[in-house]
Amino acid sequence: MPSPHAPRTRRASGEYLVFLVGEVRCGVDIAQVLEINRNMDLTRVFTAPAHVRGVINLRGQIVTIIDLAQRLGVEVEEAPVSPRNVVVDSRGEAIGLLVSDIDDIISAGAGALLPPPPHLPQGVAACTLGVLPAADNLVVILDVDRIAD
Amino acid sequence: MDPGEILDLFVQEASEMIREFEQGLILLERSPGDSSVLNRVFRAAHTIKGNAGIVGLESLAEIAHAMETLLEAIRKKTIVPEEPAFNALLTALDLVRVMVENVRAPVSSDRLAEARRIRAQLEACLKPAVAPYVKAAGPEPAPVSAQTATISAPPGTPAPAPAGDAEVESAAPAAIDSGARSESVRVNVRILDRLMTLAGEMVLTRNQLVQSTRLGDLSHIERVAQRVDLLTAELQDAIMATRMQSIRFVFDKFNRTVRDLARDLGKKVRLVVEDEGVELDKTIIETIGDPLTHLVRNAVDHGIESPEERQTAGKPAEGTLRLRAWHGAGQVVVDVIDDGRGIDADQVKARALSLGLARPEEARTMSPKTAMELVFRPGFTTASEVSQVSGRGVGLDVVHANLAAIGGTVQLDSTPGRGSSFRIRLPLTLAILPSLLIEVEGERFAVPQAHLVELMRVRAADVRQRIERVGGVEVTRVRGELAPVVRLKDLLGIAAPTFANGGGERRADRRVNLADRRDRPADDGLRAAPEKSAKTADARPAAERRDGPDRRVSAASAVNLAIVSAGDHTYGLVVDRLLDSIEIVVKPLGRNLNHCRCYAGATVLGDGRAALILDVVGLGRRAWIAEKAEAAAATPRAAGLAAMEQHEKLAVLLLTGGGRDLFGVPLDMVVRLQKASRAELETVGGRRVLRGPKATTPIFTVDQAIPAQPLPDNDSFYVVLFRLGKRELGLLAADVADIAEMNADFDTETHRRPGIRGSTVLGDRVMLVLDLREIVLAVAPEWKEPEEARDAGGPPRRRALIVDDSPFFLNHIAGMMEEAGYQVTKAENGAAGLNLLTRDPDGFDIVLTDIEMPVLTGFEMVERMRSNPALRKIPVIAVTSVLGAEAQRRGKDVGIDEYSIKLDRDDVLERCRRLLERGRPSAAGPGDGR
- pLDDT digit string, tens, across residues B282-305: 777 877 888 898 899 888 988 888
Q: Sort out which chain B residues have CB atoms less than 8 A from A66's CB and list them.
A: 592
How far apart, in whole angstroms, are the C-alpha atoms of residue A141 and residue A127? 9
Q: Say what the pTM is.
A: 0.47
Contact check, Cβ <8 Å, A48/B596: yes
What pLDDT, on a 0 to 100 scale, did the predictor assign at position A17?
92
Q: Sort out which chain B residues have CB atoms less than 8 A from A55's CB and list them.
A: 589-590, 593, 602, 610, 612
What pLDDT, on a 0 to 100 scale, did the predictor assign at position B78?
80
Q: What is the mean pLDDT of residues B472-494?
A: 83
Other C-beta atoms lying within 10 Å of the C-beta of residue B472: 9
> For residue B574, is it left (φ>0), alpha (ψ between -120 and 50) or beta?
beta
Q: Sort out which chain B residues have CB atoms less than 8 A from A2's CB and list them.
A: none
What pLDDT, on a 0 to 100 scale, did the predictor assign at position B724?
78
Contact check, Cβ <8 Å, A48/B593: yes
Other C-beta atoms lying within 10 Å of the C-beta of residue B751: 20
What pLDDT, on a 0 to 100 scale, did the predictor assign at position B148?
33
Q: Sort out which chain A residues have CB atoms less than 8 A from B610's CB and list them.
A: 43, 55-57, 62
User: What is the chain B residue with the closest CA to A89?
Assistant: B590
Q: What is the mean pLDDT of residues B508-514?
A: 48
What pLDDT, on a 0 to 100 scale, did the predictor assign at position A109?
76
Model confidence at B515: pLDDT above 60: no
pLDDT tens for each residue of B813-838: 888 888 788 889 999 888 888 989 98
Q: Sort out which chain B residues have CB atoms less than 8 A from A60's CB and list them.
A: 587, 604
Q: Sort out which chain A residues have CB atoms less than 8 A from B590's CB and list them.
A: 1, 55, 62-64, 93, 95
Model confidence at B542: pLDDT above 60: no
Q: How confident is the model at residue B856 (pLDDT cuts 50, 70, 90)?
A: confident
For A1, which of B443, B590, B622 is closest by C-beta distance?
B590
Residue B652 buriedness (CB in 10 A; 0-12 / 13-18 / 19+): buried
Model confidence at B788: pLDDT above 80: no
* Best B494, B593, B599, B603 residue to mutate vs chain A (most A CBs within 10 Å): B593
Q: How far is B579 from chain A (nearest CA, A)?
A: 18
**Bridge partner residues of B676 (DSSP):** B717
What pLDDT, on a 0 to 100 scale, did the predictor assign at position B444?
94
Size of interface A-B (CB pairs under 8 A): 68
Contact check, Cβ <8 Å, A64/B590: yes
Stretch among A17-26, A37-46, B782-791, B853-862 having the lowest mean pLDDT? B782-791
| Mean pLDDT of all residues belonging to chain B | 76
Q: Are B517 and B606 in contact (CB under 8 A)?
A: no
Q: What is the mean pLDDT of residues B513-532?
A: 38
Q: Write out the residues of chain B at the interface with chain A, using a CB-CB cutoff of 8 A.
A: 443, 492-494, 587-593, 596, 598-599, 602-604, 608-612, 622
Contact check, Cβ <8 Å, B493/A47: yes
Q: Are B97 and B175 in contact (CB under 8 A)?
A: yes
User: What is the chain A residue with the closest CA to B612?
Assistant: A45
What pLDDT, on a 0 to 100 scale, did the predictor assign at position B159?
38
Q: What is the mean pLDDT of residues B714-728?
A: 84
Q: Sort out which chain A residues have CB atoms less than 8 A from B608's CB and list them.
A: 41, 57
What pLDDT, on a 0 to 100 scale, did the predictor assign at position B193?
92
User: What is the chain A residue with the closest CA to B587?
Assistant: A62
Model confidence at A40: pLDDT above 70: yes
DSSP result, B172-228: HHHHS------S-----HHHHHHHHHHHHHHHHHHHHHHHHHHHT-HHHHHHHHHHH
pLDDT tens for each residue of B397-423: 778 877 776 767 888 888 888 899 999
Model confidence at B611: pLDDT above 90: yes
Q: How far is B612 from chain A (nearest CA, A)?
A: 8
Model confidence at B488: pLDDT above 80: yes
* Best B444, B486, B491, B591 residue to mutate vs chain A (most A CBs within 10 Å): B591
Percent of chain B surpassing pLDDT 70: 78
User: What is the chain A residue with the closest CA to B611?
Assistant: A43
Contact check, Cβ <8 Å, B604/A45: no
Model confidence at B533: pLDDT above 50: no
Q: B881-905 b/e with 16+ CB inside 10 Å = b?
A: beeeeebbeebbebbbbbbbebbeb
Q: How far is B558 from chain A (nearest CA, A)?
A: 25
Q: How far is B602 from chain A (nearest CA, A)?
A: 7
From B638, B621, B619, select the one nearest B630 (Cα to Cα): B638
Q: Are B341 and B267 in contact (CB under 8 A)?
A: no
For A45, which of B591, B612, B622 is closest by C-beta distance?
B612
Other C-beta atoms lying within 10 Å of the C-beta of residue B448: 24
Contact check, Cβ <8 Å, A93/B609: no
HSE-CB at A143 with a 13 A cutoff on CA atoms is 12
Q: What are phi and psi of B684, to 5 degrees?
A: -125, 120
Model confidence at B322: pLDDT above 90: yes
Contact check, Cβ <8 Å, A62/B609: no
HSE-CB at B856 with a 13 A cutoff on CA atoms is 22
Contact check, Cβ <8 Å, A45/B443: no
Model confidence at B506: pLDDT above 50: no
> Measuring CA to CA, how many Å separate B139 from each of A131, B84, B120, B911?
64, 14, 12, 94
Model confidence at B527: pLDDT above 70: no
For A93, which of B591, B610, B612 is closest by C-beta distance?
B591
Q: Write out the residues of chain A at the interface with chain B, using a CB-CB cutoff of 8 A.
A: 1, 41, 43-49, 52, 55-57, 60-64, 66, 91, 93, 95, 148-149
Contact check, Cβ <8 Å, B593/A41: no
Model confidence at B448: pLDDT above 90: no
Q: How confident is the model at residue B431 (pLDDT cuts 50, 70, 90)?
A: low
Contact check, Cβ <8 Å, B593/A43: no
Q: Sort out which chain A residues have CB atoms less than 8 A from B492's CB and list them.
A: 46-47
Q: What is the mean pLDDT of residues A84-95?
A: 89
Q: Are B467 and B515 in contact (CB under 8 A)?
A: yes
Q: How confident is the model at residue B551 (pLDDT cuts 50, 70, 90)?
A: very low
Greater confidence (B795 vs B629) lies with B629
Model confidence at B653: pLDDT above 60: yes
> Measuring CA to CA, how many Å separate B37 from each of B43, B141, B260, B382, B733?
10, 24, 20, 39, 49
Model confidence at B173: pLDDT above 70: no
Q: What is the DSSP pairing of strand B898-901 with strand B876-880? A: parallel
Contact check, Cβ <8 Å, A57/B610: yes
Residues sharing a CB contact under 8 Å with residue B876, sequence separation 6 or more, in sequence order: B846, B847, B848, B849, B862, B865, B895, B896, B897, B898
Contact check, Cβ <8 Å, A43/B443: yes
Model confidence at B913: pLDDT above 90: no
Q: How far is B412 from chain A (nearest CA, A)?
A: 28
Contact check, Cβ <8 Å, B598/A46: yes
Q: How far is A116 from chain B (nearest CA, A)?
A: 27
Q: How confident is the model at residue B230 (pLDDT cuts 50, 70, 90)?
A: confident
Model confidence at A23: pLDDT above 50: yes
Stretch among B57-71, B448-462, B518-532, B669-683 having the lowest mean pLDDT? B518-532
User: What is the chain A residue with the closest CA to B619?
Assistant: A47
Q: Sort out which chain A residues have CB atoms less than 8 A from B609's CB and list them.
A: 41, 43, 57
Contact check, Cβ <8 Å, B604/A41: no
Q: How far is B906 from chain A (nearest CA, A)?
A: 55
Model confidence at B384: pLDDT above 50: no
| Mean pLDDT of all residues belonging to chain A | 83
